[in-house]
Amino acid sequence: MRSHCCIGVSAALLLLSFASSAQADSRTEHAAPNNIIFMIGDGMGPAYVTAHRYAQAGTPGQPVETTIFDELLVGSARTYPATGSFITDSAASATAMATGVKTRKGVIGMDAQHQPVRSILEQAKLAGKATGIVATSAVTHATPAGFVANAKRRSYQDLIAEQYVHKRIAERSMLDLMLGGGQQFFPRTEGGLADQLRDNGFEQAWDLDGIRSLSRLPAMGLIASDGLPFAINTDQPHRLRVMTDKALELLSTEQNGFFLMIEGSQIDWCGHSNDIRCALGEMEDFAQALKAAKAFVDANPDTLLIATADHDTGGLTLARQGTRGGWQPAIALGTHRTSHYITEALQAEPQRKAQAIWAEHADWALNSAEIARIDELRDQETNELRKAIADIVSARSGTGWTTGGHSAVDVPVMAYGAQAERFAGHLNNTDFAPIIFEMLNAD
């Protein structure tokens, strides 16, 4: 019996040794990626990915197809910050992903003692690669800032913008490309930051058509004063896809490769608002951008694509106590504007009946109790009316929320392309950076 045990242990050790060797061989077989695309769905907890899948089917009983998120899924990641709570924020989580160092909530590109730490974007620049950021928020918002800047507070966006312009790596600009919102942080006045960037050779665009026309690096396209309008409130619901396509087109001309961070910023904002229709619109735009990135990898196999979230927002769940029929995405999808938009429409015309205004923005009618609830709030504080509208859509669609803030649940990890297997399994959010630093031959 003892000898059989020993033989079993020896065989197991031999297999483990063989597996480790094979894994090491596979890493050396495949060269380090020349290009790295790091995509972040801000607030995109696992229920958002599931919601997107079932929304494609529309109603129960219809075929449920695999989505781009399902195709690329390789694991999950924990998100807790350095101190104070298991629940993080975008600043601490972006810093952890970008640098491999846990920090306090609200801190950008620094450790918990407020000492600056190097990011993978900075290392890519040191390695001679082009660098870029794309976001549907201001480009100076917490997540993109975590890859570029160093600040004790995420709210110091003017300081962060100055670093985007003035920070140098090996006597080169830290960034070659920035697309998104945030015009207010880059004044176009004489001597302002936009003017300084132009003097530094940056081609510039100030609307989405202008971004489509950008022709070279370095380039900046800022198309909103702060964050972009929500996807479903515009006639450009795939604006992140447009910016992703342009970023990849411009960066692909760089022989030494590139590092590109892309954020679907407003999934988080919809989650804070507990607005399921808003969230589905942002998820669809992020899915389209992810498809564009995957297509780029297919055409350029020396590229690594990573997609994940910084944290979950809202504690979304696809069920609601007391709702018959389970989760019904068709009801949510039958609402064509966000709760913010419908609130503004209702308050802009206080004399019109709520049902008439609602009919302009949704395919389904309000019942008498819902009309009474809206009428009671129409002349009161705006956010109370907005919350009521979001809750009506959630109740009708069977959507549940546990918070208006973030939650501590793990987030999905997707990877594809060169050495994507290294991100499989369960990770800490500090695990991304060491692997990428190694790929970039960091000290």
Q: Which residues are catalytic?
A: 90
* Phi (first) and psi of residue 36, to 5 degrees: -130, 125
Asked if residue 94 lies in contact with residue 40, where contact means CB atoms within 8 angstroms, the answer is: yes
Task: Of 244, 308, 305, give the one whose Cα is nearest residue 90.
Answer: 308
Asked if residue 412 lies in contact with residue 76, where contact means CB atoms within 8 angstroms, the answer is: yes
Task: Of 325, 341, 311, 336, give the one whose Cα is nearest residue 78.
Answer: 311
Beta strands in 53-93, from DSSP E residues, in sequence order = 73-78
Distance between CA 435 and CA 256 in Å, rounded? 19
CA 102 to chain centre: 19
| Helix (H), strand (E) at residue 417 | strand 411-417
* Phi (first) and psi of residue 14, to 5 degrees: -65, -45
Distance between CA 49 and CA 257 in Å, rounded? 30
In order of 10, 109, 195, the CA distances from 163 in angstroms are 56, 12, 15
* Sign of the C-alpha dihedral computed for residues 227, 230, 231 and 236 taken in this order: negative
Asked if residue 106 lies in contact with residue 406, where contact means CB atoms within 8 angstroms, the answer is: no
Task: Of 248, 249, 231, give the one whose Cα is nearest residue 240.
Answer: 231
Task: Of 42, 72, 6, give the one whose Cα is nearest residue 136.
Answer: 42
- Region of 14 please: left (phi>0), alpha (psi -120 to 50) or beta: alpha
Tell me if the bond preceding 350 is cis, omega within 30° of 0: no
Task: Of 162, 155, 202, give the one whose Cα is nearest residue 179.
Answer: 202
Task: Of 370, 308, 392, 363, give the one whose Cα is nearest residue 58.
Answer: 363
Tokens encoding 270: 């919809």
